Chain A
Amino acid sequence: MRIATNTFVQSTVSRLQNLENQQQTVQNQLISGQRINSMEEDPTTAARILSDQQTQRQLIQYQENSTQAQGIAQAGYDALEYLQDLSEQAQSIVDFNAFEDTDSAVFSVQIDALIEDALRTANGQYNGDYLFAGTDTAQEPFSLSYTDNDGNAFLNADGDPVQRYVYNGNDSGREIAVADGVAISPYTDGDTNQSIADFLNAMLDYSDAVAAGDTAAIKDASNVVQDAENVLVDGMSNLSMKQFRMETLESSNAAKYSALSSEVTALRAVDLNEATISMLNIQNAYSAALSTTSMVMDTTILNYI
Chain B
Amino acid sequence: MSGLISNVVYNTQALNNHSAGLQVTGNNLANVNSTSYARQQLKNSTTPAEAAGGLTRYTIEQIRDAVLDENIVRENADLGSLEAQNDVLNQLNSLFAESLQENLSTSLEYSTDSDSTGLTAALDSFFAAWSDYSVDPSDSTAQEIVYQSGEMLVEYFNTMSSRLDEIETDVNTRISDDVDEANTLLNEIASLNEQIVRAELGGNDTATTLRNQRQEIVEELGKILNISTDEQANGTLIISSTDNTGATVTLLNHTTVNSLTNNAGVLGLADGTTLGLSSGSLYGYSAVLTGDIADARSDLDLLAANLTSSVNTAYGADFFDAAGLTAGTIALDSALTADSIYADLNNASGNEIALAISELASSEIAGLGNTFQGYTITTASAIAASYSNNQTQLEYQELVSTMLDEQRTSISGVNLNEEVTNMMVLQRAFQATSRVVNVLDQLLSVVVNELKA
Contact of A51 with B374 in the complex, beta carbons under 8 Å: yes
Contact of B416 with A39 in the complex, beta carbons under 8 Å: no
Chain B residues in 8 Å Cβ range of A10:
402, 405-406, 409
Q: Is B104 an interface residue, CB under 8 A from the partner?
A: yes
Do A44 and B33 contact each other (CB < 8 Å), given the known contacts A4-B409, A63-B108, A302-B420?
A: no
Chain A residues in 8 Å Cβ range of B101:
34, 37
* Distance (whole angstroms) from the CB of B344 to the closest CB of chain A: 14
Chain B residues in 8 Å Cβ range of A5:
32, 413-417
Q: Find the A residue at minimum CB distance from B346.
A: A137
A173 and B124 alpha carbons, distance in the complex (Å) = 26
Contact of B414 with A6 in the complex, beta carbons under 8 Å: yes
Contact of B98 with A50 in the complex, beta carbons under 8 Å: yes
Contact of B106 with A181 in the complex, beta carbons under 8 Å: no
| Residue in A177, A181, A264, A300 whose beta carbon sits within 8 Å of that of B416 in the complex | A300
| Residue in A37, A51, A68, A170 whose beta carbon sits within 8 Å of that of B348 in the complex | A170
Contact of A39 with B106 in the complex, beta carbons under 8 Å: no
Contact of B139 with A128 in the complex, beta carbons under 8 Å: yes
Q: Is B362 an interface residue, CB under 8 A from the partner?
A: yes
Contact of A176 with B104 in the complex, beta carbons under 8 Å: no
Q: Find the B residue at minimum CB distance from A41.
A: B388
Chain B residues in 8 Å Cβ range of A53:
102, 104, 116
Fill in one digit per residue for A175-194: 1 if any B CB lies within 8 Å of its CB, else 0: 11100110100000000000
Q: Is A40 an interface residue, CB under 8 A from the partner?
A: yes
| Residue in A57, A69, A183 whose beta carbon sits within 8 Å of that of B124 in the complex | A57
Do A40 and B387 contact each other (CB < 8 Å), given the known contacts A46-B100, A65-B131, A300-B416?
A: yes
* Distance (whole angstroms) from the CB of A226 to the closest CB of chain B: 33
Contact of A177 with B384 in the complex, beta carbons under 8 Å: no
Q: How large is the interface on B (under 10, 10 to 19, 20 to 34, 35 or more residues)?
A: 35 or more
A14 and B409 alpha carbons, distance in the complex (Å) = 15
Contact of B384 with A46 in the complex, beta carbons under 8 Å: yes
Contact of A43 with B402 in the complex, beta carbons under 8 Å: no
Q: Find the B residue at minimum CB distance from A36.
A: B100
Chain A residues in 8 Å Cβ range of B100:
34, 36-39, 46, 49-50, 268
Do A43 and B381 contact each other (CB < 8 Å), given the known contacts A61-B128, A305-B424?
A: yes
Do A4 and B415 contact each other (CB < 8 Å), given the known contacts A39-B384, A44-B385, A50-B120?
A: yes
A64 and B111 alpha carbons, distance in the complex (Å) = 9
**Contact residues, A174-232 vs B (CB, 8 A):** 174-177, 180-181, 183
Q: Is B134 an interface residue, CB under 8 A from the partner?
A: yes
A253 and B381 alpha carbons, distance in the complex (Å) = 27
Fill in one digit per residue for A110-137: 1 if any B CB lies within 8 Å of its CB, else 0: 0000000000000000011100001111
A257 and B104 alpha carbons, distance in the complex (Å) = 10
Q: Is B166 an interface residue, CB under 8 A from the partner?
A: no
Contact of B410 with A129 in the complex, beta carbons under 8 Å: no
A34 and B410 alpha carbons, distance in the complex (Å) = 43
Contact of B128 with A39 in the complex, beta carbons under 8 Å: no
| Residue in A4, A134, A180 whose beta carbon sits within 8 Å of that of B410 in the complex | A4
Binding site secondary structure of chain A: helix
Q: Is B411 an interface residue, CB under 8 A from the partner?
A: yes
Chain B residues in 8 Å Cβ range of A294:
none
Contact of A40 with B384 in the complex, beta carbons under 8 Å: yes
Contact of A134 with B384 in the complex, beta carbons under 8 Å: no
Do A43 and B385 contact each other (CB < 8 Å), given the known contacts A135-B350, A177-B359?
A: yes
**Contact residues, B394-444 vs A (CB, 8 A):** 402, 405-406, 409-417, 420-421, 424
A5 and B32 alpha carbons, distance in the complex (Å) = 7
Chain B residues in 8 Å Cβ range of A175:
134, 351-352, 355
A305 and B416 alpha carbons, distance in the complex (Å) = 13
| Residue in B112, B136, B352, B388 whose beta carbon sits within 8 Å of that of A40 in the complex | B388
| Residue in B107, B116, B409 whose beta carbon sits within 8 Å of that of A6 in the complex | B409
Q: Find the B residue at minimum CB distance from A52.
A: B104
Contact of A14 with B108 in the complex, beta carbons under 8 Å: no
Do A183 and B32 contact each other (CB < 8 Å), given the known contacts A39-B381, A54-B120, A54-B377?
A: no
Chain A residues in 8 Å Cβ range of B355:
175-177, 183
Do A7 and B409 contact each other (CB < 8 Å), given the known contacts A14-B402, A58-B361, A137-B138?
A: yes
Chain A residues in 8 Å Cβ range of B348:
134-136, 170, 172
Do A301 and B420 contact each other (CB < 8 Å), given the known contacts A44-B385, A54-B377?
A: yes
Chain A residues in 8 Å Cβ range of B391:
40
Q: Is A270 an interface residue, CB under 8 A from the partner?
A: no
A134 and B139 alpha carbons, distance in the complex (Å) = 16
Contact of B104 with A56 in the complex, beta carbons under 8 Å: yes
Q: Find the A residue at minimum CB distance from B385.
A: A43
**Contact residues, A219-277 vs B (CB, 8 A):** 253-254, 257-258, 261-262, 264-265, 268
A180 and B385 alpha carbons, distance in the complex (Å) = 30
**Contact residues, B70-120 vs A (CB, 8 A):** 93, 97-98, 100-102, 104-109, 111-114, 116, 120
* Distance (whole angstroms) from the CB of A89 to the closest CB of chain B: 33
Q: Is A279 an interface residue, CB under 8 A from the partner?
A: no
Q: Is B309 an interface residue, CB under 8 A from the partner?
A: no
Q: Is A287 an interface residue, CB under 8 A from the partner?
A: no
Contact of B377 with A51 in the complex, beta carbons under 8 Å: yes
A12 and B35 alpha carbons, distance in the complex (Å) = 16
Chain B residues in 8 Å Cβ range of A177:
131, 134, 355, 358-359
* Distance (whole angstroms) from the CB of B388 to the closest CB of chain A: 5
* Distance (whole angstroms) from the CB of B19 to the closest CB of chain A: 20
Q: Find the A residue at minimum CB distance from B90.
A: A40
Contact of B111 with A60 in the complex, beta carbons under 8 Å: yes
Q: Is B191 an interface residue, CB under 8 A from the partner?
A: no
Do A129 and B138 contact each other (CB < 8 Å), given the known contacts A39-B98, A65-B131?
A: yes
Chain B residues in 8 Å Cβ range of A2:
410-411, 415
23 A-B pairs with CB atoms under 8 Å apart are: A3-B410, A5-B413, A5-B414, A7-B409, A10-B406, A37-B101, A39-B100, A40-B388, A46-B98, A46-B100, A54-B373, A57-B104, A57-B114, A57-B121, A58-B361, A61-B128, A63-B111, A174-B351, A175-B352, A177-B131, A254-B107, A301-B420, A305-B420
3 A-B pairs with the lowest CB-CB distances in the bound complex, closest first: A4-B413, A39-B384, A47-B381
Known: A54-B373, A60-B104, A302-B417. 11 other contacts (CB 8 A): A6-B35, A10-B409, A46-B381, A47-B380, A50-B98, A54-B124, A54-B374, A127-B139, A135-B351, A172-B348, A262-B106
